Amino acid sequence: MGSEGELGKKQTDKLAKLMVSKRVKACAKKVVYLHHHPFDPELFHHLKDAPALGRAIRGNRVDLLLFGHNHDGLVWNEEWGIPRCYDAGTSTGKNKEKPARVRVIDILGEPAD
Which neighbouring-strand residues pair with 37?
A: 46
Residue type, 56: A
What is the greatest pairwise CA distance in the chain? 48
Q: Dihedral through CA 53, CA 58, CA 62, CA 64, nearest 10?
A: 60
Spatial distance between the Cα atoms of 80 and 62, rounded to a whole number of angstroms: 9
pLDDT tens digit sequence for 81-99: 999 888 876 655 566 666 6
pLDDT at 64 over 80: yes
For residues 17-34, average pLDDT: 93
Alpha helices in 1-113 (DSSP H): 9-19, 22-25, 50-57
